[in-house]
């Protein structure tokens, strides 16, 4: 069927200001700025920059980014360059599980070592990015409620 209007249905569902204030974009999940392969890492960095540029172009207020791996040093470097390079960036919300999936151990309630703890990774990432106010955390909640100690530190 031929369109008679230059606007598509999705253009008309929300007003322009609503798209900018109430819709959160999501960066592609495959993006891994800490990939061990140099080509994959460079492709991920370029894709992240392109997706962020698009979000800026359409005045998106926030963008949900994938959870980094435990070694998040290059991811932090890329984010810091993005945050410092453009004052018009949307908020960058990085997904993290509230608590890592439990590992099969003989001690069910033992504390996670820092390298497996999502909060430790988040703290490392935000510290490397200079505690930028543009960065935020988007917590993924599990099936059961977290322990008070886990919830309080976030």
As a whole-number percent, the residues of the chain with pLDDT over 70 amount to 82
Separation CA 143–CA 98 (nearest Å): 11
For residue 130, pLDDT beyond 50: yes
Which phi-psi region, left, alpha or beta, contains residue 16 (left: φ > 0; alpha: ψ -120 to 50)?
alpha
Whether the model clears a pTM of 0.85, i.e. scores above it, the answer is no
Give the DSSP letter of residue 114.
G
Helix (H) or strand (E) holding 22: helix 16-22
Q: List, for residues 40-91, the tens digit of each pLDDT value.
A: 999 999 999 999 988 888 888 899 999 998 889 999 999 999 888 776 778 9
């Amino acid at each position: 069927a031929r369109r008679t209007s230059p606007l598509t249905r999705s253009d008309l569902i929300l007003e322009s200001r609503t798209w900018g204030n109430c819709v959160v974009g999501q960066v592609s999940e495959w993006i891994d700025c800490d990939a061990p392969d140099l080509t994959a890492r460079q492709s991920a960095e370029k894709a992240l920059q392109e997706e962020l540029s698009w979000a800026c172009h359409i005045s998106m207020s926030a963008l949900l980014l994938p959870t980094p791996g435990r070694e998040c040093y290059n991811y932090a470097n890329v984010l810091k360059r993005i945050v410092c390079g453009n004052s018009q960036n949307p908020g960058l919300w990085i997904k993290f599980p509230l608590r890592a999936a439990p590992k099969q151990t003989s001690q069910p309630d033992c504390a996670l070592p820092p390298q497996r703890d999502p909060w430790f990774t988040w703290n490392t990432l935000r510290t490397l990015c200079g505690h930028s106010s543009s960065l935020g955390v988007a917590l993924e909640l599990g099936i059961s409620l977290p322990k008070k100690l886990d919830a309080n530190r976030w």
